[in-house]
Amino acid sequence: MKRDAWPLQPPVPVLRVSGLAKAFTLHLRGGLRLPVLHGVALEVRAGECVALVGRSGSGKSTLMKCLHGSYGIDAGEVRLHGGTGPVNLAQASVQQVLALRRRDIAYVSQFLRAPPRVSAIDVVAERVLQSEPAAPLDDALDADDARVDAARAQAGALLQRLNLPESLWSLPPATFSGGEQQRVNIARGLVVPARLLLLDEPTASLDATNRQVVIRLIHEAKAGGTAVVGIFHDEEVRDAVATRCIELQRALK
């Protein structure tokens, strides 16, 4: 199917959420239901950054996971205008969600979950390779090598901007410091332009210099037409990048 022209024109929201409700069922507690989100509505257009605010436990990270398709929802719609047209994540198949995550949705979780034994540069380069249309079967092997080299070059350029020492690039990030892991995570999320970028506390473990780098990267993503939804406890970062804030309140029943 033909991909839409991108960035989308301003009147078309990249993300439109309406009537979203989410409760957790605690099976080990006799099926106790824990309502968290109720009646959540939001729209995010290309180039906007919406910050989710609210008290601890109000459901910010839960909403983020609903937008990423990792949590199902109990009611409402999460409509994403992806490259092949609008998709309601609440009703999408697993294959559709995986395809959206390869091309359209980027998610920077609070903590890096890197596969063991994969080097930092390949954790990032893998994202570039996943986002590309599959290579034709008759591609020569050296063409594949060229793709890998190009993806690593793109990954390295971003890790450099994020001041991750080159001596760490060939090592798996499992033993990295919190801030180093977070920079690998950010690089993985931002190395390919996405329509929707989800950021859960992307600067929580970063020093002032790297916070500024991340602020610049978010500005660049917005300028490129990405719609951003973020949780930023750091008010300086939030003020620098957010177009507006949405306050979440814990559902009462």
Ligand X SMILES: Nc1ncnc2c1ncn2[C@@H]1O[C@H](COP(=O)(O)OP(=O)(O)OP(=O)(O)O)[C@@H](O)[C@H]1O
CB of 61 to Mg ion, least distance (A): 3
CB of 38 to ligand X, least distance (A): 12
**Residue 60, interface with ligand X (CB under 6 A)?**
yes
- Residue 62 partner contact from ligand X, Mg ion, none using kind-dependent CB cut-offs of 5 to 8 Å: ligand X
Instruction: Assess contact for 168 and 198: CB atoms under 8 A.
Output: no
Nearer Cβ to ligand X, position 62 or 210? 62
Applying CB under 6 A, which part among 49-57, 84-92, 204-212, 216-224 lies near ligand X? 49-57
- Mention every residue, 6+ apart, whose C-beta is less than 8 A from residue 249: 54, 58
Applying CB under 5 A, which part among 59-67, 159-167, 173-181, 217-225 lies near Mg ion? 59-67
Which of 17, 23, 36, 199 lies at the binding interface for ligand X (CB under 6 A)? 36
Helix, strand and coil percent figures for the chain, each rounded to 5: 40, 25, 35
Three-state SS across 197-229?
EEEECCCCCCCHHHHHHHHHHHHHHHHCCCEEE
Helix, strand, or coil (residue 72): coil
**Residue 61, interface with Mg ion (CB under 5 A)?**
yes
Q: State the sign of the Cα–Cα–Cα–Cα dihedral 179, 129, 70, 4.
A: positive
Nearer Cβ to ligand X, position 88 or 249? 249
**Residue 203, interface with ligand X (CB under 6 A)?**
no
Residues that bind ligand X (CB under 6 A): 24, 34, 36, 54, 56-62
Residues that bind Mg ion (CB under 5 A): 60-61
